[in-house]
């Protein structure tokens, strides 16, 4: 049956998995110096900028922490 055949294939290790060395079109297209010269900008990563919503949350949590600190200090 199919179930027995699958078990047989697993026992003799026909399914050996993927290649040990991965290939990438980007890695193959550029020389290594391109990646070494790349500058990582935390405000502009992978073509995305920090959104307005992210800025709003940052201000919101700063405000919450300020309120907590004021309550602890002044009651």
**Tell me, what's the pLDDT at 7?**
73
> How many angstroms separate the first and last alpha carbons of the chain?
75
| DSSP-assigned letters across all residues of 4-72 | HHHHHHHHTT----S-SS---HHHHHS-HHHHHH---BTTEETTEE--HHHHHHHHHHHHHHHHHHHHH
The confidence score (pLDDT) of residue 66 equals 95
pLDDT beyond 90 at 22: no
% of the chain with per-residue pLDDT over 90: 19
Cβ neighbours for 50, distance < 8 A, ≥ 6 positions apart = 43
30 pLDDT tier (thresholds 50, 70, 90): confident
State residue 70's pLDDT score. Answer: 94
Tell whether the model's pLDDT for residue 60 goes beyond 80: yes
């Amino acid at each position: 049956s199919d179930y027995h055949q699958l078990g047989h294939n697993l026992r003799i290790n026909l399914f050996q998995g993927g290649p040990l060395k991965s290939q990438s079109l980007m890695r193959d297209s550029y020389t290594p110096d391109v990646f070494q010269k790349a500058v990582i900008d935390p405000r502009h990563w992978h073509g995305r900028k920090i959104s307005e919503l992210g800025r709003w949350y940052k201000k919101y949590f700063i405000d919450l922490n300020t309120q907590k600190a004021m309550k602890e200090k002044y009651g």
